[in-house]
């Protein structure tokens, strides 16, 4: 009887853990949202990428810069303002580091660290922080186009630390609709690209070259469409 009770308790514990640490499957199709810029497209588009270590170590900002130069813009520049461990609360402190401008484009990526149970922020706080970032950018740079980025899923220990990562991705969908900004769904592209274990060796940080191959072209297309331009096929 005692052994049966122990086994039952263990089973219930495992089931509870599975519920707590379960991550909902990602969307099958990208949930992109494109909000057209209100002003004319700039000849030289200047952008800034705010984010975590995922953005700090990424190759896609440089590749995006190169691609945009061929999407009807005379030139393009994308500076990176990101650091490992940063969440949206620290993102607020990054504002101003992009310079006086003019800045036409801001890309924002903090969901993966906001979702961290140890070092992250609650969902309500994440929403508020992102709203403040968006409002501050609009106040500093008239007509700026804001793009929220969801990124790769996580595995192993990193998944246990971020059991609600998909819910934080859903916050970006909500924010994009409520604040009238654009959304680039990197999570769906990562899942649909099926990069395998080699693409996420430590469970958190994607292989930069693989990530750039998944993101750069569709992200350039997204930005170009925001400004009424087209990228070559």
Architecture in CATH for domain 28-226: 3-Layer(aba) Sandwich (3.40)
Q: Is the pTM of this model over 0.85?
A: yes
Query: Per 3-state DSSP, what percentage of the chain is helix, strand, and coil (rounded to 5)?
Result: 50, 15, 40
153 vs 143: CA distance, rounded Å:
32
Cβ-based burial of 12 (10 A; exposed 0-12, middle 13-18, buried ≥19) = exposed
Q: Are residues 207 and 197 in contact, defined by beta-carbon separation less than 8 angstroms?
A: no
CA-to-CA separations, 80 to 60, 130, 191, 231, in angstroms, rounded:
11, 18, 25, 23
pLDDT of residue 2: 60
Averages of pLDDT over each 10 residues, the chain, 233 residues: 49 40 59 93 95 97 94 94 96 92 95 96 98 97 96 93 96 98 96 76 92 96 96 89
pLDDT of residue 200: 85
Whose structure tokens read 């588009």? 45
pLDDT of residue 39: 84
208 vs 58: CA distance, rounded Å:
5
At 81 the three-state DSSP class reads strand
């Amino acid at each position: 009887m005692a052994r049966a009770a122990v086994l039952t308790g263990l089973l219930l514990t495992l089931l509870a853990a599975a519920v707590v640490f379960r991550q909902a499957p990602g969307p099958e199709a990208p949930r992109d949202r494109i909000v057209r810029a209100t002003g004319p497209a700039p000849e030289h588009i200047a952008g800034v990428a705010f984010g975590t270590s995922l953005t700090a170590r990424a190759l896609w900002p440089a590749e995006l810069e190169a691609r945009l130069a061929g999407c009807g813009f005379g030139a393009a520049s994308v500076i990176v303002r990101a650091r490992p461990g940063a969440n949206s609360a620290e993102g607020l402190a990054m504002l101003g580091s992009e310079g006086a401008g003019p800045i036409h484009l801001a890309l924002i990526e903090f969901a993966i660290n906001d979702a961290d149970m140890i070092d992250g922020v609650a969902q309500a706080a994440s929403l508020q922080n992102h709203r403040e970032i968006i409002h501050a950018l609009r106040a500093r740079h008239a007509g700026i186009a804001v793009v929220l980025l969801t990124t790769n899923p996580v595995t192993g220990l990193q998944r246990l630390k971020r059991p609600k990562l998909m819910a934080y991705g859903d916050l970006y969908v909500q924010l994009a609709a409520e604040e009238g900004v654009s959304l680039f769904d990197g999570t769906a592209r990562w899942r649909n690209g099926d990069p395998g274990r080699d693409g996420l060796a430590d469970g958190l940080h994607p292989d930069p070259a693989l990530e750039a191959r998944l993101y750069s072209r569709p992200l350039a297309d997204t930005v170009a469409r925001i400004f009424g331009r087209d990228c070559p096929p």
